[in-house]
């Protein structure tokens, strides 16, 4: 399958080269119609994660620069370059080794896209955003200075009314960091992964998503199979959502390989000024931890994922989690206080309680300042069960 896909890519490039020779003027126009976008970004974070007696602090600067060509006989191409530099690093516990502690640069996107009627084929390095295969998501707990990326082959079709179908194969993966102070590079991802994603809006006010993921592990006992379902129904200005995730992770062992996660969520206005609300509940079964799929963006898949520490807590086996938040606009600043509680009698951490606050301030054209603080109390962590995390983002988009 992998060889067939790569042969198709080579054929597509050959066709593109032939068309270039026939119509150089149109190709020039495709480049002239291209669009450049980018971001300059700085992130500061402080954390004594899971009760470390000393606090890690890190300051970073970097960003991204991307370019997408215009259309040329259905073909287009794109590239995104990312860079990161650590300004100051007081890293005593390696809290940020997989997140912000990275200096260097990487070409995270370099793809060719071909669109014919309602079908498109996208091959190469690219960011992907689906429930089970996802790069880090801006504004979510997975957000960092740089995004993770995939080398993948995707086919998307919209022939069926109100329906999007995407089939794909993931060959390589680029993490945010390499875990050793450098930015992540593209490396083989196991023996590859296959996915099928469907989104449908046929019924008024109802959106349904479904996805299947199969990871072919390098070892015969490390395969992963995931199924994800989500439904979002709008009632007036409110949205009611439900999710279900089934995972089979053979690397966890025969008695812990199966995991299930159920979730419900409600969002909308409170009816008092411009105040809004979010409330969510997740429950996992007594089996093993729930595998969320590929990429850092999947830490945001559970409805009860925390804005700073993500979705690792509710995916523990036999765990119930409840989260609530209020959206409070104050002039040009959006303030979001939140709280969550997760309880489990079968996990080494025990119960986990969290409170936090976020502030988002677009203080000037294309400039954005975001700050967040989260306090977490873990029942069974020694010597100090309290975790404090502070994170500040400053970005300029162009």
236-260 pLDDT, tens digit each = 999 999 999 999 999 888 888 999 9
- pLDDT of 281 reads 98
Interval 95-126: pLDDT, tens: 899 999 999 999 999 999 999 999 999 999 99
- pLDDT of 13 reads 40
- pLDDT of 382 reads 62
Secondary structure (DSSP) of 240-281: EEEEEEEEEEGGG-TTT-EEEEEEEEEEEE-SSTT-EEEEEE
Whether the predicted pLDDT of 15 surpasses 50: no
Coil, helix or strand for 158?
coil
Under DSSP, the state recorded for 290 is P
Among candidate residues 95, 87, 41, the one with its CA nearest the CA of residue 390: 95
Coil, helix or strand for 179?
coil
Coil, helix or strand for 2?
helix
Stretch 71-87: mean pLDDT = 96
- pLDDT of 32 reads 85
- pLDDT of 50 reads 79
Q: For 250, list phi and psi in degrees, rounded to 5.
A: -65, -20
Its pTM stands at: 0.89
Among candidate residues 181, 213, 177, the one with its CA nearest the CA of residue 296: 177
- pLDDT of 327 reads 97
Whether the predicted pLDDT of 9 surpasses 50: no
Whether the predicted pLDDT of 7 surpasses 60: no
Averaged pLDDT of the chain: 91
Interval 26-68: pLDDT, tens: 788 888 889 999 999 999 999 988 777 788 999 999 999 999 9
For the chain, domain boundaries: 2-397
Q: Which residue in the block uniquely carries the two structure tokens 């975790």?
A: 387
When mean pLDDT is compared across 216-220, 268-272, 276-280, 361-365, the lowest value belongs to 216-220
CB 74 within 8 A of CB 135: no
Stretch 347-366: mean pLDDT = 92
Whether the predicted pLDDT of 384 surpasses 80: no
**For the chain, percent of residues with pLDDT exceeding 90:** 76
Whether the predicted pLDDT of 381 surpasses 80: no
Stretch 282-298: mean pLDDT = 93
- pLDDT of 380 reads 83
- pLDDT of 18 reads 41
Length of the chain measured in residues: 398
Confidence of residue 16 (pLDDT cuts 50, 70, 90): very low
Q: Report the alpha-carbon distance of residue 212 to residue 194 in Å, rounded.
A: 8
Q: Which segment, 21-30, 76-85, 248-257, is predicted with the most confidence on average? A: 76-85
Interval 208-225: pLDDT, tens: 999 999 999 998 788 999
Coil, helix or strand for 24?
helix
CATH of domain 2-397: 2.40.160.10
List Cβ neighbours of 64 (8 Å cut-off, separation of 6 or more): 38, 39, 41, 80, 81, 82, 83, 108, 146, 147
**For the chain, percent of residues with pLDDT exceeding 70:** 93
- pLDDT of 226 reads 97
Nearest-10 crossing angle of helices 2-22, 24-32: 110
- The H or E element that residue 32 is part of is helix 24-32
Cβ burial 107-127 (10 Å sphere, 16+ → b, else e): ebbbbbbbeeeeebbbbbbbb
Stretch 326-337: mean pLDDT = 96
């Amino acid at each position: 399958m992998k060889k067939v896909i790569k042969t198709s890519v080579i054929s597509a490039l050959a066709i593109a080269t032939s068309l270039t020779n026939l119509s150089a003027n149109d190709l020039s126009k495709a480049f002239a119609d291209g669009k450049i976008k980018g971001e300059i970004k700085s992130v500061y974070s402080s954390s004594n994660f899971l009760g470390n007696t000393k606090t890690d602090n890190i300051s970073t600067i970097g960003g991204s620069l991307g370019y997408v060509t215009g259309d040329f006989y259905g073909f287009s191409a794109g590239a995104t370059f990312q860079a990161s530099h650590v300004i100051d690093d007081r890293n005593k516990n390696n809290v940020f080794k997989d997140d912000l502690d990275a200096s260097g640069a990487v070409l995270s996107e370099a793809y060719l896209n071909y669109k014919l009627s309602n079908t498109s084929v996208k091959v190469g390095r690219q960011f992907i955003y689906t429930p089970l295969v996802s790069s880090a998501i801006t504004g979510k707990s997975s957000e960092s200075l740089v995004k993770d990326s995939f080398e993948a082959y995707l086919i998307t079709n919209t022939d069926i009314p109100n329906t999007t179908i995407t089939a794909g194969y993931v060959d390589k993966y680029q993490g945010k960091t390499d875990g050793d102070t450098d930015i992540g590079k593209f490396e083989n991802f196991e023996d590859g992964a296959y996915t099928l994603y469907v989104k449908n809006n046929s019924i008024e006010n109802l959106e349904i998503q479904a996805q299947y993921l199969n990871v072919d592990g390098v070892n015969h006992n490390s395969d992963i199979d995931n199924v994800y379902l989500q439904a979002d129904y709008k009632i007036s200005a409110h949205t009611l959502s439900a999710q279900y995730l089934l995972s089979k992770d053979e690397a966890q062992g025969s008695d812990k390989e199966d995991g299930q996660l159920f979730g419900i969520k409600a969002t909308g206005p409170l009816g008092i000024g411009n105040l809004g609300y979010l409330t969510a509940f997740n429950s996992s079964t007594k089996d093993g931890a729930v595998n969320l799929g590929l990429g850092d963006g999947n830490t945001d898949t559970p409805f009860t994922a925390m804005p700073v520490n993500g979705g690792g807590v509710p995916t523990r086996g036999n765990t119930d989690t409840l989260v609530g938040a209020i959206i409070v606009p104050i002039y040009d600043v959006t303030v979001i206080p939140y709280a969550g509680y997760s309880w489990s009698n079968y996990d080494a951490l025990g119960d986990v309680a969290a409170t936090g606050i976020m502030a988002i301030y677009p203080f000037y054209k294309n400039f954005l300042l975001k700050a967040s603080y989260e306090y977490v109390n873990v029942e069974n962590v020694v010597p100090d069960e309290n975790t404090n995390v502070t994170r500040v983002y400053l970005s300029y988009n162009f």
